[in-house]
Amino acid sequence: MFSLVQLNQFVAVAEELHYGRAAKRLNMTQPPLSRQIQLLEKDLNVLLFDRSSRAIKLTPAGKAFLADARRLLQQSERAALSVHKTATGHSGVCRVGFTGGSVLSGLAALVTTARSVIPDVELDLREMVSRAQVEALTDDGSLDIGMVRPPVARPDLVSRPLIRESLVVALPKNHPLAGLDRPVDITDLHGVDLVMYSPIDSHYFFELLSSVFHEASVAPVVVQHLTQIHTILSLVHFAWGIAVVPESASKMHFDNVVCRPLTLARPAHVELDLVWRINNENPVLNRLLPALNLD
């Protein structure tokens, strides 16, 4: 089978239609160039050049092969460039896991940074709960990096804080607490209908709020358990109850929802960690991580 070197030699002769000029262009002598063209014709079992006169010219088969040869050489150049970009992290794919609640905080920050640092890289975004992300990072390696709620206690994973934000109260516009001229106090939520996080799929938020309510001796009336913040806000919009959500959730616009600051007896914050596998060798990840300025 012919080589890329032979293709390049053939294209040079086909464009110059002169062995001497083609040999000079290729920085070689004419005899070995002639032999290479003859070997190429033997491999293809076809004559590429008409040598019946002093001036050589392409045969019909040679003309057809010239177009294919040029295309193959161009593809080989693109492949070489692509593999170089991938090896240096200037191209390729970074598979990013994120929770629904991190879209307006952590995910926005990561995507903005990635577009400025590695603009030629494809980000494969996958919405998953924290538990599923940890499994994807470790069990099958289907994620390169994840945005999960702490803690992450896995020796094969690196975890760094990415976002830390306050809690706010999401209320239907006509709710009595929405009209207060002060921040909502945690004690104001005693006996109030509450749309709560799922204790299984949203374990982090469930435990965080359960702790906040317990410390304040507050007992809201849970009317529904849900997983995703935007779904919780949808029920607040329909006046099913109130909700306690991260501050970034106030950027999700629902016509019948207002967000108010929440005063707590002891400060409590929503945290989001960036997590990746220790032995991940994706060059794209190695370029992205330093730009995120993680602690």
DSSP letter string, 209-259:
HHHHHHHTT---EEEEEES-HHHHHHHHHTTS-BEEEEGGGGGS--TTEEE
DSSP state of 121: S
Residues 102-124: what's their mean pLDDT?
Answer: 86
pLDDT at 185: 97
Q: What is the mean pLDDT of residues 259-285?
A: 91
Other C-beta atoms within 10 Å of 194: how many? 24
Among 270, 144, 265, smallest CA distance to 197 is for 270
Whether residue 226 is predicted with pLDDT greater than 90 in this model: the reply is: yes
Amino acid 37 reads I
Each residue's pLDDT tens digit, 180-200: 999 999 999 999 999 999 998
Structure tokens at 110: 């990561």
Choose among 268, 15, 204: nearest CA to 23: 15
Residue written as token pair 């306050």: 166
End-to-end CA distance of the chain: 55
Say how far apart CA 133 and CA 137 lie, in whole Å: 6
Angstrom CA distances, 111 to 69, 104, 280, 294, stand at 40, 11, 20, 15
Instruction: Give me the domains of the chain, ranges plus CATH numbers.
Output: 4-87 (1.10.10.10), 93-162+271-291 (3.40.190.10), 164-269 (3.40.190.290)
pLDDT at 82: 60
pLDDT band at 80 (very low <50, low <70, confident <90, very high): low
pLDDT band at 156 (very low <50, low <70, confident <90, very high): very high
Q: What is the pLDDT of residue 218?
A: 96
Query: How many Cβ atoms sit within 10 Å of the Cβ of residue 123?
Result: 18
Cα-based torsion angle of the residue sequence 49, 28, 24, 56 in order, rounded to the nearest 10 degrees: -10
